[in-house]
C-alpha cells in the first residue's frame, strides 16, 4: 500500500490530489493519508496542501527494497530484497534465509547492524543510516576451494563502483578491502556452507562506510566516502551500480571459474602491488615485494633472496611498510 | 539412573540382588526394578531371579552413548555423544548443534536415519539397528580449501578399522569410499561452514553398512560387512576403533595440514591406483591410468598420450572399467 502510493508520487512528478490517488489505487482517501504519514515517518519529504494535494519533494537516502530496486538493472542479483531497519548482522540473516532455501540473488540490507561482523571474528562498526550493510546469497556450482576467488571478483567490482560513483581514487588492498587515501572504506566477509563436491551457498557480506563523519579512535585506518570526498553519497545508487557490475563478472566467473578474465583489471587497481609489503604470519614478519596475483587469487611475492612464492589469502596478513597499505 | 544400574551390572559380572544395587546407588528397590525393565526394553538381556537377583547376560549390539563410551580411549573425539534412536539425518543434527556452539569432538549417533544423506544430494539407506550412522563435529584451524583432505584421512582410518575388526580385505576407492570385494561398505559425507580465512566447523558424516542382509535392487554396488564376512559385527567396537585411529591422525594433520604423513599408507590401501579407470565429467568419459595421490589429496592420472594430470575430488567421478571400482 505504502509502496503503491510512493510509486504513484514518483511517477507523477508534481502535485496530485488524494482523490486522484485514491481513485487510481482503489482505496479510501483516509487510507492514502495513512500511507503518506508512514512515508513521511520513513524520511520522505512530502508536501501536503489542501488545495493542490500531495507532492514528493525529496526521497531520503535510504536503502529500503523499493528504493534499491527502483533503478536496478540486473537479471537476478538484488531482484529479491530482504530489508530490515535494524538487524544483528546481515550475514547471519542471509545464512538463516539460505538454510531455509532462499534462492541465489537474494539481498539482505539493513540500515543498522547491532552486531556487524568483520573478518577473523572481528566486530564491524555499522551505525544507523550511514553505510551500506548488505549480504548477497549466491549459489554457484563450484568447488569450495574456489569460493575465495568470488570475494576477489566482488572486491574489484566494488572498487570500480566507488571510483565511478565518487571520482575518488579507490584501490584494492589484496585480497578484497577497498581503500581510499590509504584508509579502509569497504570490507567483505564471505561465508559459505559446502560439501566437498560443491558449494551449497555463499554469503557475500559487504560493508561500505558511506556517510559517517566520525570513527572510533581505535580504528585509525578506517574512513568513509563522505570524509574522503567531502560530500554525501547515495547509498542505493552505490548498491545498484555494484550489483550490476558484479552480476556481469559473476556470470562470466561461473562459466570459467578462475580469475584470468579479470586479472589485468584487478592488478591495475591493486594498491598492494609493485612495492614492498610486510607479510605477517603467526606474529612473524617478513618483507617481500608484491609482484602480481595468480589466476587462483593468490598474491605472488618475491623475497629478498629472489625466491618467489604464491601467498594464499587467509594464511598471511599483508600490510604496508608504514601503515595499512 | 538406568546408566548407573547398567554400569553396576556390567561391573559385577554375576548375580546381584535388588537390595545390593539399591543400597549401592541409594534408591528404592522399586526404582531399580523400573530401570531393569527399561534396560530390557533397550535390548539388554537381564536374567531376574527372586532368589539370586539380577544378572546381565548379553548387552545388545547398540550404539547408545554409554555403550560407545564404555571402552573408548580417546582424548576428545566421541567423549561427548548425542545419541538418538531415530533421526532425519545425523549430519543435519550435527550442523544444528555446531551452529549452537557444540565443541569439537561431539559425536551424533543414530540407530536409524529417516532421511540419511549421501554425497551430491543422494539418499543414503540407513535402516534401523544394522549400520553405523554417525557425524563428528570438528573445528580445525585450517583454511576451507584444505577441508577435503580431512575426508581422505577419515577414509583411510575407516579402511584400517574395518580391516582390523573383520579381517576382510577392505580398500579405499578414491577419494573416500571404503569397499570390500568391489562393493561399497562405507561412505563419507563431509560438510562445512567456513569463512575465507578459516573453517568454522566441519561435519564428518560417516555411514557404515554393518549388519544388513539385504539391499534394494537399485544399489547393486552396495554391501555390508555381514554379507561379505558371513557374521554379525559389533557396531560400537567399530566406532571406538575408528575414533581412536582417527583422533591420532587428525591431531597430526592439524600440526601439518597436508597428506604427506599418510600418503604411503593411503596409496597402499587405495584400490583405485595402478589400473585403468574411467574419469567421468559432465557425461563425458575418458580412460586414464591412476598412478598416485598428491599430498593435497588429488588423484594423479596418466592419459593415453602420456600427459599427467592431478584430478581434484568433486570435479570428476572415477569408476572402474567394468564396475564400481
Residues of B with CB under 8 A from a CB of A: 119-120, 143-145, 147-148, 151, 175, 189-198, 200, 312-315
Inter-chain CB proximity A144 and B143 less than 8 Å: no
The yes-or-no verdict on residue A104 having pLDDT over 90 is yes
What is the fold of B2-58? Arc Repressor Mutant, subunit A (1.10.10)
Residue B110 is predicted with a pLDDT of: 95
Q: Where in chain B is the domain with CATH 1.10.10.10?
A: 2-58
Among A195, A255, A299, most B C-beta atoms within 10 A, so best to mutate, is A195
Please tell me the distance from the alpha carbon of residue A272 to that of residue B147, in angstroms, as a whole number. 28
Could you report the per-residue pLDDT of A129-161, keeping only the tens digit for each? 899 999 999 999 999 999 999 999 999 999 999
Q: What is the pLDDT of residue B305?
A: 95
Q: Which residues of B touch A314 (CB under 8 A)?
A: 143, 196-198
CA distance B325 to B317: 11
Q: Which residues of A touch B198 (CB under 8 A)?
A: 120, 314
Residue A58: predicted pLDDT: 84
Q: For residues A262-284, give the mean pLDDT.
A: 93
**A7: confidence class by pLDDT, cuts 50, 70, 90:** confident
Alpha helices in A167-234 (DSSP H): 225-229
State yes or no: pLDDT of A82 exceeds 90. Answer: yes
Interchain CB distance below 8 Å, B195 and A119: yes
What pLDDT score does B10 carry? 86
A218: confidence class by pLDDT, cuts 50, 70, 90: confident
The superfamily in CATH containing domain A65-268 is Bira Bifunctional Protein; Domain 2 (3.30.930.10)
Q: Which of A142, A139, A203, A120 is nearest to B198 (CA)?
A: A120
Inter-chain CB proximity B195 and A193 less than 8 Å: no
CATH 3.30.930.10 residue ranges in chain A?
65-268
User: What is the CB-side half-sphere exposure of residue A27 using CA atoms within 13 A?
Assistant: 11
Mutate to test the interface with A, among B196, B203, B313 (most CBs of A within 10 A): B196
Percent of chain B exceeding pLDDT 70 equals 100
H, E, C per residue of chain B:
CHHHHHHHHHHHCCCECHHHHHHHHCCCHHHHHHHHHHHHHHCCEEEEECCCEEEEEECCCCCCHHHHHHCCCCCCCCCCEEEEEEECCHHHHHHHHHHCCCCCCCEEEEEEECCCECHHHCECCCCCCCEEEEEEEECCCCCHHHHHHHHHHHHHHHHHHHHHHHCCCEEEECCCEEEECCEEEEEEEEEEEEECCEEEEEEEEEEEECCCCCCCCCCCCECCHHHHHCCCCCHHHHHHHHHHHHHHHHHHHHHCCCCCCCHHHHHHHECCCCEEEEEEECCEEEEEEEEEECCCCCEEEEECCCCEEEECECCEEEEECCCCC
- Residue A13, pLDDT above cutoff 80: no
Q: How far is it, in rounded angstroms, from Cα A45 to Cα B216?
A: 68
Neighbours of A118 (CB within 10 A): 15
A-chain CB neighbours of B193 within 8 Å are: 191-193
pTM of the model: 0.87
- Cβ <8 Å between B119 and A190: no
Min Cα separation A143/chain B (Å): 7
Given an 8 Å threshold on Cβ–Cβ distance, is B314 in contact with A192? no
pLDDT in tens, chain B (325 residues): 888 888 888 888 789 888 888 888 888 988 998 999 999 888 889 988 888 889 988 888 888 888 888 889 999 999 999 999 999 999 999 999 999 999 999 999 999 999 888 876 778 888 888 999 999 999 999 999 999 999 999 999 999 999 999 999 999 999 999 999 999 999 999 999 999 989 999 999 999 999 999 888 888 889 999 999 999 999 999 999 999 999 999 999 999 999 999 999 999 999 999 999 999 988 899 999 999 999 999 999 999 999 999 999 887 889 888 888 8
* DSSP letter for each residue of A71-106: T---SSTTSSEEEEEEES-HHHHHHHHHHTTPPTT-
Average pLDDT over chain A, rounded to whole? 92
Task: Provide the pLDDT for residue B66.
Answer: 84
Does residue A70 have a pLDDT over 90?
Answer: no
- Kindly list the residues from chain A whose CB atom is less than 8 angstroms away from the CB atom of residue B298: none
DSSP state of A312: P
Q: Do B189 and A195 touch (CB under 8 A)?
A: yes
Q: Decide if A312 and B148 are in contact by the 8 Å CB cutoff.
A: no
The cell numbers describing A82, all together, are 530482504
pLDDT tens per residue, range A84-94: 999 999 999 99
Q: Check B197 against A119: CB less than 8 A apart.
A: yes
Q: Name the residue in chain A with its Cα closest to that of B151.
A: A196
In chain A, where does the domain assigned CATH 2.30.30.100 lie?
A: 273-320
pLDDT at B206: 97
Inter-chain CB proximity B145 and A312 less than 8 Å: yes
Distance (Å) from the C-alpha of residue B95 to the closest C-alpha of chain A? 10
Q: What DSSP line would sit under A113-138, residue for residue? A: ESS-B-GGG-B----TTTEEEEEEEE
Domain A273-320 has CATH 2.40.160.60: no
Q: What is the pLDDT of residue A170?
A: 98
ipTM above 0.85, yes or no: no
CB contact under 8 A, A196 and B144: no
Confidence band of A62 (pLDDT split at 50, 70, 90): confident
Question: Best interface-test mutation with B: which of A146, A176, A190, A196 has the largest number of B CBs within 10 A?
Answer: A196
Interface of A with B (CB under 8 A): 119-120, 143-145, 147-148, 151, 175, 189-198, 200, 312-315
| Residue contact A120–B191, C-beta within 8 A | no
Radius of gyration of chain A (CA): 22
Name which of B195, B312, B314 is nearest A190 (Cβ-Cβ).
B195
Please choose, from the candidates B70, B91, B87, B88, the residue with its C-alpha nearest in 3D space to the C-alpha of residue B79. B70
Contact assessment for residue A5 and residue A48, using Cβ atoms and an 8 Å cutoff: no
Amino acid at each position: 500500500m505504502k509502496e503503491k502510493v510512493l510509486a504513484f508520487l514518483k511517477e507523477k512528478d508534481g502535485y496530485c490530489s488524494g482523490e486522484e490517488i485514491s481513485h487510481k489505487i482503489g482505496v479510501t482517501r483516509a487510507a492514502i493519508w495513512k500511507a503518506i504519514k508512514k512515508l513521511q515517518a520513513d524520511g520522505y519529504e512530502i508536501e501536503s496542501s489542501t488545495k493542490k494535494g500531495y507532492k514528493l519533494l525529496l526521497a531520503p537516502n535510504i536503502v529500503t527494497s523499493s528504493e534499491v530496486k527502483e533503478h536496478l538493472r540486473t537479471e537476478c542479483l538484488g531482484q529479491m530484497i530482504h530489508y530490515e531497519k535494524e538487524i544483528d548482522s546481515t550475514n547471519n540473516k542471509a545464512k538463516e534465509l539460505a538454510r531455509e532455501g532462499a534462492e541465489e540473488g537474494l539481498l539482505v540490507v539493513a540500515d543498522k547492524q547491532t552486531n556487524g561482523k568483520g573478518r577473523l571474528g572481528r566486530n564491524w562498526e555499522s551505525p544507523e543510516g550511514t553505510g551500506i550493510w548488505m549480504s548477497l546469497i549466491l549459489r554457484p556450482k563450484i568447488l569450495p576451494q574456489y569460493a575465495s576467488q568470488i570475494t576477489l571478483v566482488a572486491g574489484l567490482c566494488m572498487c570500480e563502483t566507488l571510483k565511478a560513483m565518487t571520482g575518488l581514487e579507490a584501490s584494492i588492498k589484496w585480497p578484497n578491502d577497498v581503500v581510499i587515501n590509504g584508509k579502509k572504506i569497504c570490507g567483505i566477509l564471505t561465508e559459505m556452507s559446502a560439501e566437498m563436491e560443491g558449494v551449497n551457498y555463499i554469503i557475500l557480506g559487504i560493508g561500505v562506510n558511506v556517510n559517517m563523519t566520525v570513527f572510533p579512535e581505535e580504528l585509525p585506518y578506517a574512513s568513509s566516502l563522505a570524509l574522503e570526498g567531502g560530500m554525501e553519497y547515495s547509498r542505493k545508487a552505490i548498491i545498484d551500480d555494484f550489483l550490476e557490475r558484479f552480476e556481469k563478472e559473476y556470470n562470466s566467473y561461473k562459466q570459467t571459474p578462475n580469475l584470468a578474465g579479470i586479472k589485468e583489471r584487478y592488478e591495475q587497481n591493486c594498491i598492494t602491488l609493485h612495492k614492498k609489503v610486510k607479510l605477517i604470519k603467526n606474529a612473524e614478519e617478513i618483507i617481500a615485494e608484491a609482484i602480481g596475483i595468480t589466476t587462483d587469487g593468490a598474491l605472488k611475492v618475491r623475497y629478498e633472496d629472489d625466491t618467489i612464492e604464491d601467498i594464499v589469502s587467509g594464511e598471511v596478513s599483508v600490510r604496508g611498510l608504514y601503515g595499512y597499505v
